[in-house]
Amino acid sequence: MYISDIKLKTAFIYLLASLFCVLFGAVYEYYSHDVYSYYMIYAFVFPLAAGVLPFVLMFLSGHKRIPSRLTLNLYHSGIATLSVGSIMTGVMEIYGTTNDILQIYWIVGFGFIGISLLNYVIGLFTRKK
Amino acid sequence: MKFNFFKKKFAWAIFYTILLTSFTLYAVLDTFVITRVYASVEADERGSDESIASTKSSSLNESENTYSDQNISITITEYREYDTNIYVADVYVSSAEYLQTAFAQNSYGKNITEKTSSIATSNNAILAINGDYYGSQTKGYVLKNGELYREAASEDQEDLVILADGSFEIIKEGDVTAEALLKNGALQVLSFGPALVTNGSVCVSESEEVGKAKASNPRTAIAVVDDLHYLFVVSDGRTDESEGLSLYQLAKFIQSLGANTAYNLDGGGSSTMYFNGEVINNPTSNGKTIKERSVSDIVYIGY
């Protein structure tokens, strides 16, 4: 299978990441003696909602502008950080423990996404000029 | 030049993957492996073998299921309820000083664990059960044998307070500080929960569970019947022979034994009962292998 459009290609990679999260969560939950964690079960939502959805929408809407490499790098890193952070929080919850350093995943993840979106919006305005 | 690095596709991807993996590895090690000792319990605080030997009188009477001397009387009974083996230690003591707690490796800290039987042996315990596993949480009072080790409160956390006269009290950490508990004469605070029985009535609902658990499990609980009369309860679970108990089943069972106040301690793979040098239940984490889990602390009867 060959996907020529960069936006579809990105969406496809995010779909694979979502499926990996679903599979990982299902296997982990299976061996967790009925101790559950929403962070583990729904970790796939980050790559699906913030990865697959926007890139498919960009493709379908015929949006021609591809975000800059800096914007994409920060955005992808943000989603990866949130997905891993969600799985890690799930692991801790299922084990019945906590660790304050897990907050770093959420701060860095949302921070990266915020900066990348800001960079994207600034790029739109500056290029128009 | 430096800024350009963030614009490179593969260089950034490789760099960030390594960074994220390294941080995740550190988070796992920090949570489960890296040991930090914050305080050690001195040997003389726990009593010497000589003093224990002299305290145990000539009236010592031991058998497979019983122990009694001038200060302590323990009877172990095995029950079969809810398709589960339940072990109950019926304990009478002459003073609350014999109801004690101990840390793994006699140290308070992070990721310091040891098997219940091993902690019990090193503290000359006659009877022991696993405690509240304080080490798995970053908040929640840690007050053991009249010493306050952690006063960070977890607002809704329900604790069991054992007072100097041996009576039990259930408190919420959001309602009272650890300092105040210590001032009011608390000898032990167990921070796990929830309370199972208060004033002789079951106080958990049929659907209530610990944290995110939703199934029957091995359980550990402690209860007071009346003055200086306690029950230590441990159930098996997760095996073909024993299904395990829900919190409600555990509460109903302990209430049927006459408990006035009962409190749930760390369960699952941690649930262990040690008596006269042996583990008497079937501790298991996965239901397949019978093996003790290492824990942070124990509750025990001893000198």
> Looking at the complex, does the CB of residue B38 fall below 8 Å from at least one CB of chain A?
no
Q: Report the gap between the CA of B220 and the closest CA in chain A (Å).
A: 16
> Which of chain B's residues have a Cβ under 8 Å away from the Cβ of A81?
20
What part of B 204-223 touches A (C-beta under 8 Å)?
Answer: 210-215, 217
pTM, two decimal places: 0.84
What part of A 38-67 touches B (C-beta under 8 Å)?
Answer: none
d(CA A109, CA B243): 41
> Which of chain B's residues have a Cβ under 8 Å away from the Cβ of A37?
212
Q: Report the gap between the CA of B160 and the closest CA in chain A (Å).
A: 19
Mutate to test the interface with B, among A10, A33, A38 (most CBs of B within 10 A): A33
d(CA B72, CA B74): 7
> Which of chain A's residues have a Cβ under 8 Å away from the Cβ of B210?
96
Averaged pLDDT for residues A19-30: 95
The amino acid occupying position B75 is: T
Nearest-by-CA chain A residue for B15: A77
What part of A 6-35 touches B (C-beta under 8 Å)?
Answer: 31, 33-35
Complex-level ipTM:
0.92
Predicted pLDDT at B253: 98
A117 strand-pairing partners? none
Q: Report the gap between the CA of A96 and the closest CA in chain B (Å).
A: 7
Q: Calculate what percentage of chain B has a pLDDT beyond 90.
A: 81
3-state class (DSSP) for residue B286: coil
Give every CB contact of residue B67 below 8 A, 6+ residues apart in sequence.
B61, B73, B74, B126, B127, B275, B276
Give every CB contact of residue B194 below 8 A, 6+ residues apart in sequence.
B158, B203, B204, B208, B210, B247, B263, B264
A1, pLDDT greater than 80: no
Of A73, A81, A88, the CB nearest to B6: A73
d(CA A109, CA A76): 9
Token readout for A129 is 């000029």
Predicted pLDDT at A53: 96
Predicted pLDDT at B53: 57
Contact (CB, 8 A) for A25 and A43: yes
pLDDT band at B262 (very low <50, low <70, confident <90, very high): very high
3-state class (DSSP) for residue B274: strand
Q: Among A35-44, A64-73, B19-28, B242-251, which stretch is predicted with the lowest mean pLDDT? A: A64-73
Predicted pLDDT at B75: 97
Q: What is the mean pLDDT of chain A?
A: 91
d(CA A33, CA A58): 42
d(CA A31, CA A50): 29
Averaged pLDDT for residues B78-91: 97
Q: Do B27 and A102 touch (CB under 8 A)?
A: yes
Q: What is the pLDDT of residues A42-100, one digit of tens each?
A: 999 999 999 999 999 988 988 777 788 999 999 999 999 999 999 999 999 988 888 99
Of A31, A80, A96, the CB nearest to B136: A96
